[in-house]
């Protein structure tokens, strides 16, 4: 075990610190949307200095540095410590870009990566359908080839940020006769293509964070496919791996925990600071222990990327489940220590932290469900991580009919 | 021995449930959330059924029923996420005013035309300054007073004295919380004339404990609704060619909710009964019922939402109104930690 980053990294850390000192005032403010000029300028500034899209080749708009996980870690640490905006990390950046770089054609990389990482092209993820959530592979939105174009018909649901998005990466069924995992393709198309209708869905926070998206004879050029026909499931799974890791980072959890500590110092009841209440303090310390475990787990995952001699599959598989549940509980403590003030919402003048405690408490319940529910995570951990058998499959009506006929 | 609700109590609960099912559908809650209506017509409807005067003596136009009856009703109200000042006007204010010997407002309260809100934050635990009194004039602020549209308020001071003040004598601003079905507000007083009601700290606490028993029953009803919805949804929703209710993971979530919830029903009944029989442990039981129900309610609110998948997170099924009501009941009139601490004090453990 050697936890020092090495003295060669001290200079790098200084560089990051000095960047933050001199540019911090340019970061986007809480109200700046994902399409604001402030966001785009900040994003370009970060890329230019290598603090975003660091290892993406410069020919695709990135900074073009050699992968150095320790440098990436130092950037995360310093930005986290100063609570500086890390740049735009929409679904196009975190999920699509890695996949394009791995599986896209040269043309696709050139066309999409640069505007995506610069926040000039906003993406949404069109996977889930009303009948296909946990059982994503049963999706039925279909695309048929007509000359040089795909013609798409069907419906997506829970599509986050579809109302802001310029483009969508979308799973569609192109091979209706193939087994369900082998009949899916991965298409990219513009959200202003004729035939697309977006209807916002209000969620429990009161915001419309996601949408229903309807496709009626939407025509998309044939070449806007990633991977081969019928390979969409493999492409999608490559992205889901990226998504799950990014939903609940331990560093963000630690930031929120520090937020709870601030609340407990500032809030008082009958003149006594909440921090002097041993019951709340114990809950705080218990959560801190859990966050620390996740932070060290994260460092172990990081080090395994450099030295591939450790098997960390299980350590990676538990991150989404444990991280989202933990975050939900941290937000809950934030509410509990405030008592009735913790109920404040909307325009209530007693809000602490812009109402973020109740909001995040609900939002993290959403993330416990989104990106693969906790129950699905547990299936994955037990089946793929611990080698336990799968539950027996029930054949679809269609395949049951087929085998009856064959018999 | 017979541990359970009487035939009359069962019928009362049923008739309230029937009324709520037809008169207070989810749309009513949605209109309230959108600010398109307030809770006055719902409250008048409940008052016409006798709920506003439930525990008020017959001499003042009430039904003179007890806390166990009130528990049965509170469960039905929670089940429907029903708006209106049942907790504040019909239980807490009605009990306190009657016990303090006041007569005048009771008749109007029983008919539903007069609402008396509750501002007891200073008694339970003040988070901001305190209300002071001199020459029957109040000065200061009271946060999270129950009922943002009451005609008058009972103000509890930190020494246990209670004053009543007309809404016209104070400045009031409604406070947004996560729960749109139960309204709260902030009251500001500046030499505001008030009427002395009681100097008995014992009476204030008796009132708070009654409120807590009612809150426990309300959360019980809301949690029962969420469990029922989860089971129904799991039998309807199909994934992987089967209803999700056939997955052991989903069945176990539902069974866990039921195992935690079912004992709470008997607990809530006993909490009501203990007041009717004036048993020594009434206050302690109310504290435990309120705190325990808050924890069980929180677990069920989360788990039922999870059983609904993405649908549970949306406004489409409206489940979140119950989720938020349970969250509201958790904090008001004492958070679970605070109430358990009081329970330990009542037991003489500290
Ligand atoms: C905040 C949020 C953001 C989202 N963003 C997007 C997005 O941008 N794009 C997109 O495509 N989708 C998005 N989703 C959709 C998300 O991926 C799905 O909601 C999720 O996969 C669950 O699917 P479902 O909602 O259909 O629930 P269901 O699959 O119907 O699940 C209902 C219940 O059944 C359980 N269950 C299902 N199958 C099994 C099983 N085999 N074993 C045990 N239990 C099971 C589940 O765990 C759950 O408790 C988002 C969802 C949320 C909540």
Within a domain: B175? yes
Tell me the domains of chain A and their CATH numbers: 8-88 (no CATH), 123-230 (2.40.110.10), 248-385 (1.20.140.10)
Chain B contact set for A345 (CB, 8 A): 176-178
Do B185 and B287 fall within a single domain? Answer: no
Do B191 and B168 fall within a single domain? Answer: yes
Instruction: Quote the ligand 1 centre to A369 CA distance (angstroms).
Output: 6
Domain tally for chain B? 3
Within a domain: B150? yes
**Mean pLDDT of the B321-347 span:** 97
- Looking at chain A, which residue has its C-alpha nearest residue B123? A270
- Whether the CB of A377 is below 8 Å from some CB of chain B: the reply is no
Instruction: Quote the ligand 1 centre to B310 CA distance (angstroms).
Output: 5
CATH code of the domain covering residue B42? 1.10.540.10
CATH code of the domain covering residue B261? 1.20.140.10
- Whether the CB of B22 is below 8 Å from some CB of chain A: the reply is no
**What is the least distance, in Å, from the CA of A157 to any CA of chain B?**
9
Whether A340 is catalytic: no
Do B75 and B21 fall within a single domain? Answer: yes
Cβ-Cβ contacts under 8 Å between A and B: the total is 131
Q: Give the pLDDT of residue A32.
A: 84
Angle at which helices B248-276 and B201-236 cross, to 10°: 150
B172-209 pLDDT, tens digit each:
999 999 999 999 999 999 999 999 999 999 999 999 99
Instruction: Quote the ligand 1 centre to B70 CA distance (angstroms).
Output: 40
Do B131 and B227 fall within a single domain? Answer: no
**What is the least distance, in Å, from the CA of B175 to any CA of chain A?**
5
* Pocket, ligand 1, Cβ cutoff 6 A: A 125-128, 133-134, 158-160, 210, 366-367, 369-373, 375-376, 379; B 237, 239-240, 244, 247, 249-250, 306-307, 309-311, 313
The Cα–Cα gap between A42 and A38 comes to: 6
Kindly determine whether residue B144 and residue A269, on different chains, have CB atoms separated by under 8 Å: no
Do B180 and B220 fall within a single domain? Answer: no
- Looking at chain B, which residue has its C-alpha nearest residue A396? B241
pLDDT > 70 fraction of chain B, expressed in percent and rounded:
99
Of all protein residues, the one whose alpha carbon is nearest to atom 16 of ligand 1 is A370
Chain B contact set for A381 (CB, 8 A): none
**What is the least distance, in Å, from the CA of A407 to any CA of chain B?**
21
SS (H, E, C) chain B: CCCCCCHHHHHHHHHHHHHHHHHCCHHHHHHHHCCCCCCHHHHHHHHHCCCCCCCCCHHHCCCCCCHHHHHHHHHHHHHCCCCCCHHHHHHHHHHHHHHCCCCHHHHHHHHCCCCEEEECHHHHCCCCCCCEEECCEEEEEEEEEECCCCCEEEEECCCCCEEEEEHHHCEEEEECECCCCCCEEEEEEEEEECEEEECCHHHHHHHHHHHHHHHHHHHHHHHHHHHHHHHHHHHHCEECCEEHHHCHHHHHHHHHHHHHHHHHHHHHHHHHHHHHCCCCCHHHHHHHHHHHHHHHHHHHHHHHHHHCCHHHHECCCCCHHHHHHHHHHHHCCCCHHHHHHHHHHHCCCC
Chain B contact set for A269 (CB, 8 A): 125-127, 338
Within a domain: B1? no
Q: Which residues, numbered 134 to 173 in chain B, qualify as contacts with chain A under a Cβ-Cβ cut-off of 8 Å? A: 143-144
Q: Give the pLDDT of residue A239.
A: 65
Within a domain: B184? yes
Q: Which of A126, A128, A365, A372 should be mutated for ligand 1, with most atoms under 8 A from CB?
A: A128
Do B76 and B60 fall within a single domain? Answer: yes
**Mean pLDDT of the B206-216 span:** 98
Kindly determine whether residue A344 and residue B314, on different chains, have CB atoms separated by under 8 Å: no
Sign of CA dihedral A389, A394, A399, A402: positive
pLDDT > 90 fraction of chain B, expressed in percent and rounded:
94
On average, the pLDDT of chain B sits at: 96
Do B152 and B251 fall within a single domain? Answer: no
Q: Give the pLDDT of residue A378.
A: 97
Do B209 and B342 fall within a single domain? Answer: yes
- Looking at chain A, which residue has its C-alpha nearest residue B321? A204
Kindly determine whether residue A365 and residue B238, on different chains, have CB atoms separated by under 8 Å: no
Domain boundaries, position B161? 116-200
Report residues of chain A scoring pLDDT below 70: 239-246, 355, 407
Kindly determine whether residue B302 and residue A347, on different chains, have CB atoms separated by under 8 Å: no
Of all protein residues, the one whose alpha carbon is nearest to atom 49 of ligand 1 is B307
CATH code of the domain covering residue B189? 2.40.110.10
Within a domain: B287? yes
**Mean pLDDT of the B163-175 span:** 97
Catalytic residue among A78, A243, A267, A331: A243
- Whether the CB of B328 is below 8 Å from some CB of chain A: the reply is yes
Report if pTM > 0.80: yes
Last residue of a domain, one of B169, B200, B231: B200
Last residue of a domain, one of B86, B106, B132: B86
Instruction: Quote the ligand 1 centre to A378 CA distance (angstroms).
Output: 14
Chain B contact set for A325 (CB, 8 A): none
Do B267 and B179 fall within a single domain? Answer: no
ipTM for the predicted complex comes to: 0.95
The Cα–Cα gap between A314 and A262 comes to: 34
Instruction: Quote the ligand 1 centre to A370 CA distance (angstroms).
Output: 5
The Cα–Cα gap between A173 and B20 comes to: 46
Indicate the length of chain A as a whole number: 407
- Whether the CB of A280 is below 8 Å from some CB of chain B: the reply is yes
Q: Give the pLDDT of residue B224.
A: 98
Do B341 and B228 fall within a single domain? Answer: yes
> Chain B interface, mutation test: which of A127, A328, A340, most B Cβ atoms within 10 Å?
A340
Do B275 and B331 fall within a single domain? Answer: yes
């Amino acid at each position: 075990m050697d936890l020092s980053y090495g003295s060669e990294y001290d200079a790098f850390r200084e560089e990051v610190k000095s960047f933050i000192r001199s540019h911090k005032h340019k970061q986007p403010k809480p109200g700046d949307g994902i399409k604001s000029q402030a966001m785009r300028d900040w994003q370009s500034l970060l890329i230019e200095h290598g603090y975003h899209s660091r290892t993406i080749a410069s020919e695709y708009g990135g900074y073009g540095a050699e992968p150095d996980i320790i440098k990436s870690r130092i950037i995360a640490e310093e930005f986290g410590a100063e609570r500086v905006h890390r740049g735009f990390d929409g679904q196009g950046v975190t999920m699509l870009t890695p996949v394009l770089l791995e599986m896209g054609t040269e043309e696709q990389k050139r066309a999409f990566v640069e505007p995506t990482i610069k926040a000039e092209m906003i993406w949404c993820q069109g996977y889930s359908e009303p009948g296909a959530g946990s059982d994503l592979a049963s999706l039925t939105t279909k695309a048929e080839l007509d000359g040089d174009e795909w013609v798409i018909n069907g419906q997506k649901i829970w599509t986050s940020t579809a109302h802001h998005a310029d483009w969508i990466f979308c799973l569609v069924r192109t091979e209706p006769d193939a087994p369900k995992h082998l009949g899916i393709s991965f298409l990219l198309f513009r959200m202003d293509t004729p035939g697309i209708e977006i209807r916002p869905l209000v969620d429990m926070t009161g915001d419309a964070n996601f949408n229903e998206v309807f496709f009626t004879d939407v025509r998309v050029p044939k070449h806007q496919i990633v991977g081969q026909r019928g390979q969409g499931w493999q492409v999608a799974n490559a992205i889901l791996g990226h998504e799950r890791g990014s939903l609940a980072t331990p560093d963000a959890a630690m930031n929120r925990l520090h937020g709870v500590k601030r609340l407990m110092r500032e809030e008082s009841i009958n003149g006594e600071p909440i921090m002097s209440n041993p019951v709340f303090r114990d809950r705080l310390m218990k959560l801190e222990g859990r966050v620390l475990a996740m932070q060290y787990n994260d460092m172990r995952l990081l080090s395994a990327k450099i030295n591939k001699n450790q098997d960390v599959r299980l350590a990676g598989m538990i991150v989404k489940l444990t991280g989202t549940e933990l975050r939900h509980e941290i937000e809950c403590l934030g509410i509990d220590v405030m008592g009735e003030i913790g109920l404040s919402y909307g325009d209530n003048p007693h809000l602490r932290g812009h109402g973020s405690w109740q909001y995040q408490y609900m939002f993290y319940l959403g993330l416990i469900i989104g990106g693969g529910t906790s129950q699905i995570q547990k299936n994955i951990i037990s089946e793929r991580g611990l080698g336990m058998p799968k539950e027996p499959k029930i054949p679809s009506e269609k395949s049951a009919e087929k085998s009856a006929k064959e018999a | 021995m017979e541990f359970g609700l009487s035939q009359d109590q069962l019928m009362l609960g049923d008739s309230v449930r029937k009324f709520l099912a037809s008169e207070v559908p989810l749309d009513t809650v949605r209109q309230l959330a959108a600010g398109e209506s307030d809770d006055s017509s719902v409250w008048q409807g409940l008052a016409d059924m006798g709920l506003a005067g439930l525990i008020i003596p017959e001499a003042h136009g009430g039904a003179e029923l007890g806390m166990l009856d009130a528990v049965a009703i509170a469960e039905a109200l929670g089940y429907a996420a029903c708006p209106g000042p049942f907790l504040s006007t019909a239980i807490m204010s009605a009990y306190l005013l009657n016990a303090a010997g006041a007569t005048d407002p009771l008749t109007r309260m029983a008919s539903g035309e007069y609402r008396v809100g509750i501002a007891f934050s200073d008694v339970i635990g003040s988070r901001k300054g305190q209300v002071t009194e001199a020459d029957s004039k109040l000065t200061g602020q009271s946060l999270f007073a129950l009922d943002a549209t009451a005609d008058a308020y009972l103000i509890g001071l930190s020494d246990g004295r209670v004053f009543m003040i007309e809404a016209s004598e104070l400045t009031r601003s409604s406070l947004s919380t996560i729960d749109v079905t139960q309204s709260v507000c902030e009251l500001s007083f500046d030499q505001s004339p008030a009427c002395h009601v009681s100097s008995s700290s014992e009476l204030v606490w008796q009132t708070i404990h009654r409120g807590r028993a009612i809150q426990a029953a309300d959360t019980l009803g809301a949690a029962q609704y969420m469990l029922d919805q989860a089971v129904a949804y799991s039998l309807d929703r199909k994934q992987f060619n089967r209803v999700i209710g056939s997955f052991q993971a989903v069945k176990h979530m539902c069974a866990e909710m039921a195992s935690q919830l079912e004992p709470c029903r008997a607990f809530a009944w006993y909490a009501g009964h203990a007041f009717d029989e004036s048993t020594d442990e009434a206050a302690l039981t109310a504290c435990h019922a309120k705190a325990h129900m808050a924890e069980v309610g929180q677990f069920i609110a989360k788990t039922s939402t999870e059983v609904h998948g993405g649908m549970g997170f949306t406004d489409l099924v409206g489940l979140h109104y119950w989720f938020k009501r349970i969250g509201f009941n958790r904090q008001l009139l004492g958070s679970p930690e605070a109430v358990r601490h009081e329970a330990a004090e009542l037991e003489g453990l500290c």
